[in-house]
Amino acid sequence: MANEKLHGWGVRSSPDVQKAGEYRCPECDRDYPVGLGLYKIIVGFACDEPWQMKHHDDFGTALGIMILECPRCFAKGWIHLYEPSFALAKRCCPLWPK
């Protein structure tokens, strides 16, 4: 991650893509997969929205957001992606550009 320039890819953030609070689909309320399974439903990454970058909590400062696709209803939702999870997301997401 050190000195790596971040680039968005895949499904982009839009007003139609809602925050997936509590790691649940914002449309059908299904729990997203846990552990490494979460990274397998990433369909996009956005890092160019200023409001996303300002988020900070116990995990640190967000690098951007992961756009997730619900395995049940295929609706899109997003959650913040923090530096400690970035390398794991890149490695485990089959769609992440190499």
In tens, the pLDDT along 4-30 reads 788 999 999 888 999 998 999 999 999
Name the burial class of residue 58, with classes exposed (0-12), middle (13-18) and buried (19+) by CB atoms within 10 angstroms of its CB: exposed
Instruction: Work out the pLDDT band at 53, boundaries 50, 70, 90.
Output: low
Q: Could you report the per-residue pLDDT of 69-81, keeping only the tens digit for each?
A: 999 999 999 999 9
**What pLDDT is stored for residue 31 in this prediction?**
97
Whole-prediction pTM: 0.87
**What pLDDT is stored for residue 92 in this prediction?**
96
- Give the mean pLDDT of the chain: 88
CA distance 49 to 1: 19
